[in-house]
Amino acid sequence: MSKPLIELKNVSFQYENTHALNNISFKVDEGDFLAIIGPNGSGKSTLLKLILGLEKPTAGEIKLFGLASNQFRDRELIGYVSQKSNAFNSAFPATVEEVVKSGLVKKLGFFKQIPKDASKKAEEVLKAVGLENLAKRNIGQLSGGQQQRVFIARALIAEPKVLILDEPTVGIDHENVQSFYDMLARLNREQNQTIILVTHDVDTVSNRISHVACLNQTIHFHGYKEEFDTISQDQIDALYGHAVRKVH
């Protein structure tokens, strides 16, 4: 049995005297497609920040690739796509390909220039996200959904072992959300890409994932998607204190 890629043991995080997260434990193995679902303010983004090392837990232990989080140096093994697809400079004069290649920045380190074969790699990851024809387009000319795919390609070019996405479909219209999740499922299935997805779209995503974690300050449920399916709607409502739609 290989080591879990990400493991949280009794992790808590306190922010200004309120428990943002309480006693969280779960692990992610290679090839998992985990959806973290939970209402607004449930601490989903905080949990991701802890995993990414942008915040430190106030209690508990986070292990990344078997190493304690503070000893873990190979941050490029974790790819991250943020929620705000409009946080970037949309008038920036760069092509899709240039943006994708910039995903190599951490892997290469200072001094090293982006290698010549990066274009070929960019082509491959753009194909994986279904944008192979847009490589030479200006990033600002793409739709919100396409831009978000470009950012996934930017994360994929560094060959991360784990891909973390924080509500990637915010601001993307409904039809495109479906094909967006199909694309993620394909990555997971065909390339054994481990994915952690924080989302609101429980109903859309549920037939594409392998694991579910329900978060509201603490983990209320964590397990296989099949187990999640056996929980009744009433139980879920009780866990959250209010209705969360569960469709499968």
Partner 1 sequence: MIEAILNYEFLQNAFLSGMIIGVIAPLLGVFIVVRRMSLIADALSHVTLAGIAGSLYLSQTVTTLAYLNPIYFGIIASVGGSVLIERLRSLYKHYEDLAIPIIMSGGIGLSAIFISLASGFSTDLMSYLFGSVSAVSKQDLWVIILIAIIVIVFLFMFFKEMFVLSFDEEYAKASGLPARKIHLLFMLVVALVIAASMRIVGILLVSSMITLPVAAAMRLSKSFKQTILFSILFGEASVIIGLVSAFYLNLAPGGTIVVTSIIILFLVIIIKKLVLKIKVERG
242 binds partner 1 (CB under 8 A): no
CA distance 202 to 209: 10
Beta carbon nearer to partner 1, 57 or 79: 79
76 binds partner 1 (CB under 8 A): yes
133 binds partner 1 (CB under 8 A): no
Instruction: Sheet containing 67-68: give its strands across.
Output: 18-28, 6-15, 59-64, 67-68
- Among residues 192, 172, 198, which one has the least CA distance to residue 128? 192
Q: What is the CA radius of gyration of the chain?
A: 18
Beta carbon nearer to partner 1, 26 or 151: 151
- Among residues 236, 231, 84, which one has the least CA distance to residue 147? 84
231 binds partner 1 (CB under 8 A): no
In the complex, minimum distance from the CB of residue 174 to partner 1, in angstroms, rounded to a whole number: 26
Q: Which of 39, 53, 130, 144 binds partner 1 (CB under 8 A)?
A: 53
CA distance 237 to 246: 10
Stretch touching partner 1 by CB under 8 A, among 5-13, 26-34, 97-105, 189-197: 97-105
Q: Are 155 and 101 in contact (CB under 8 A)?
A: no
117 binds partner 1 (CB under 8 A): no
Eight-state DSSP code of residue 210: S
- Among residues 78, 125, 70, which one has the least CA distance to residue 99? 125
State the binding string over 137-156 for partner 1 (x if CB under 8 A, else -). -x------------x--x--
In the complex, minimum distance from the CB of residue 129 to partner 1, in angstroms, rounded to a whole number: 16
Stretch touching partner 1 by CB under 8 A, among 63-71, 108-116, 181-189, 191-199: 108-116
In the complex, minimum distance from the CB of residue 98 to partner 1, in angstroms, rounded to a whole number: 5
80 binds partner 1 (CB under 8 A): yes
CA distance 227 to 210: 10
CA distance 205 to 185: 9
How remote is the C-alpha of 172 from its chain's centroid?
16
Q: Which of 1, 16, 40, 111 binds partner 1 (CB under 8 A)?
A: 111
Interface positions with partner 1 (CB under 8 A): 52-54, 75-76, 80, 82, 84, 87-89, 92-95, 97-99, 102, 104-106, 108, 110-111, 113-114, 136, 138, 151, 154
